[in-house]
Amino acid sequence: MSTESLSIAAIRWTGLRTIVIREYGRIVRIWAQTLVPSAVTATLYFVIFGSLIGRRIGDMGGFDYRSYLAPGLIMMSVITNSYGNVVSSFFGAKFGKHIE
């Protein structure tokens, strides 16, 4: 390997490490803003659809409706938070002139 490819690898590693450290610090600062809204939303969906509508629907493939609904609500929260965090971080970096 040439010294040029080693220096490019070092630059890329420094950039990745910087992004990971900055994002980890941001998530640690705003953990409540990330977890509480998704927990409240999932709980409301679970109460409304699981309890009220689930009684009328009955079993779904051998599972009660609340057990059928829970994995979907968990994935909805994970996908929504992952997308929201990335977009928020990107626009924050753009606003702070880290990205042009």
Instruction: Please check whether residue 46 is in contact with residue 53, taking contact to mean a CB–CB distance below 8 angstroms.
Output: no
Tokens of 18: 């910087």
Helix (H, G, I), strand (E, B) or coil at 60: strand
5-41 pLDDT, tens digit per residue, is 668 888 889 888 988 898 888 888 888 887 888 889 8
42-97 pLDDT, tens digit per residue, is 888 888 877 777 777 777 788 887 788 888 888 988 888 888 877 887 887 788 88
Long-range contacts of 31-39, Cβ-Cβ distance < 8 Å, separation of 24 or more: 34/81, 34/85, 38/77, 38/80, 38/81, 39/77
Residue with tokens 């220096």: 7
Q: Is the dihedral angle over the CA atoms 73, 75, 76, 80 positive or is it negative? A: positive
With a CB cutoff of 8 Å and minimum separation 6, the contacts of 34 are 27, 81, 85
Considering the entire predicted model, what is its pTM?
0.62
With a CB cutoff of 8 Å and minimum separation 6, the contacts of 59 are 65
